[in-house]
Amino acid sequence: MQLSNLPIKCYSCKPFNNSIMGRELCIAEVEVHTVQAREAVKFLEKNQNVIFCGDMNWDDKLDGQFPLSDGWIDAWTELRPGEVGWTYDTKSNKMLSGNRTLQKRLDRFVCKLRDFKISEIEMIGMDAITWSITYQGKENEKTGPKYGASCFT
């Protein structure tokens, strides 16, 4: 779980029916995601050059706009205005294929830079790699595309 030192109100897991790797959806309800982000930005603000990035599970519709103080920028929106930048995309990421479409920019790359300037940003980890599974005691082997992560970064 990203950005949480707060007590968990409730927690539950639901296994995905189509997950070869045994993945599951884990849901934890915690208190105030926005307050945590604000606290992190405030803590990092004392530094002159800061990059704060990662899988923050940030949802603009639920959490609002990511809270940035003066001097901070969201690198994606700054350098690619008008581009959605979805890092969680069930349409383009085959590891996330399912019965519904979900496209969100859950990952963030925000920074406050005095001595540097960000000139470009791009998505990585979007290409499929080959995988194979050999089941013990069986002669058939399965192969197919695999992505490095469920989110593009």
Instruction: Say if residue 29's pLDDT is above 80.
Output: no
**1 within some domain:** no
**77 within some domain:** yes
Instruction: Say if residue 8's pLDDT is above 90.
Output: no
pLDDT at 88: 86
pLDDT at 124: 82
pLDDT at 96: 73
**15 within some domain:** yes
pTM > 0.85: yes or no: no
DSSP of 78-130: HHSTT----SEETTT-GGG-SSS--EE--EEEEEEESS---------S-S-EE
**115 within some domain:** yes
Structural domain harbouring 88: 8-146
**2 within some domain:** no
**135 within some domain:** yes
Q: What pLDDT digit, counting tens, does each position of 82-133 carry?
A: 999 998 888 887 777 667 788 999 999 999 999 999 999 998 877 766 666 6
Domain count, the chain: 1
**152 within some domain:** no
**153 within some domain:** no
Return d(Cα 44, Cα 35) in angstroms, integer: 14
User: Minimum mean pLDDT among 60-64, 114-118, 129-133, 149-153: which range?
Assistant: 149-153
